[in-house]
Amino acid sequence: MADVVSELVRACNTARAKGMDFPTIWQTMLKQHPYVVGRPLQDQNEVGPALRVPLVTGRHLIFDASGFRLG
């Protein structure tokens, strides 16, 4: 399970590095992914605004100014 989530984080960061914005990544990669269990939630963290995408593992995929990471 951890490998699937780690690969999802890598894939999202790779797409972002290629110029994709969050709405495009959401529509093309995250929305239909079997580990994603809900819509993005708005949040705030130490670097500013963030989005938290809930995962089946109980953790969240965090997107903020520094990119995607597991939270």
Question: Is residue 7 pLDDT above 70, yes or no?
Answer: yes
Q: What is the mean pLDDT of the chain?
A: 95
* Per-residue pLDDT tens digits for 20-66: 999 999 999 999 999 999 999 999 988 899 999 999 999 999 999 99
Are 22 and 52 in contact by the 8 Å Cβ rule? The answer is no
Structure tokens at 56: 């089946």
Instruction: Record the pTM.
Output: 0.91
SS3 12: helix
Cβ-based neighbour number of residue 59 at 10 Å:
14
How far apart are alpha carbons 26 and 11 in whole angstroms?
12
| Cα 66 from Cα 38, distance rounded (Å) | 22
Distance, CA of 70 to CA of 57 (rounded, Å):
11
